[in-house]
A = this chain, B = another copy of it.
Amino acid sequence: MEENKCENIARYISEIQRKGNIFFLKELADLSLGYGQFNYLMELYKKDGVRQEDLSLSLNIDKGTTARAIKKLETEGFINKIHDENDKRAYRIFLTDKALRNKEAIYEVAIKWESNITNKLTIEERELMLKLLKKCI
């Protein structure tokens, strides 16, 4: 059926992501984090002190979802929200000592998951996959 053929790419992506959610939930359980907060933390490790709005933009996630993830990260003691000195309505997000202490462990989870999904691909296939995925965004 034409419909079945059409459905495939979306379905494989969904299946990989579902496995990822289970993987991250398990791997990050000790830190009380899920994949929803994980992406933000990874981004903050690269850009500590970034404005909340810019975090939304760079992750391409809407403001409401970002606000909820930031709230959870704050509750779990991974970040502090500080008013932007130049714009009091805006917040900048800073990593706490707890976040910095766990940086290596969190990167390891990321590397482990990437390895899980790509370990059957050659280096060339990984590059190709990235190129194709970018065209799907």
A contact set with B: CB distance below 8 Å: 3-4, 6-20, 22, 35, 39, 42, 46, 59-62, 107, 110-111, 113-115, 117-118, 120-121, 125-126, 128-130, 132-137
> A135 contacts B130, CB within 8 Å?
no
Determine which of B12, B110, B126 lies in contact with A7 in the assembled complex, contact meaning CB atoms within 8 Å.
B110
> A110 contacts B9, CB within 8 Å?
no
Residue of B nearest to A133 (CB): B12
> A16 contacts B136, CB within 8 Å?
yes
> B118 contacts A16, CB within 8 Å?
no
| A interface majority secondary structure | helix
Q: What is the CA–CA distance of A14 and B24 in the complex, to the nearest angstrom?
A: 12
18 other contacts beyond A3-B111, A14-B35, with CB at 8 A cut-off? A6-B115, A10-B20, A12-B134, A12-B136, A13-B16, A13-B20, A13-B117, A14-B39, A15-B137, A17-B17, A19-B137, A22-B62, A121-B132, A121-B136, A125-B132, A125-B135, A129-B129, A132-B132
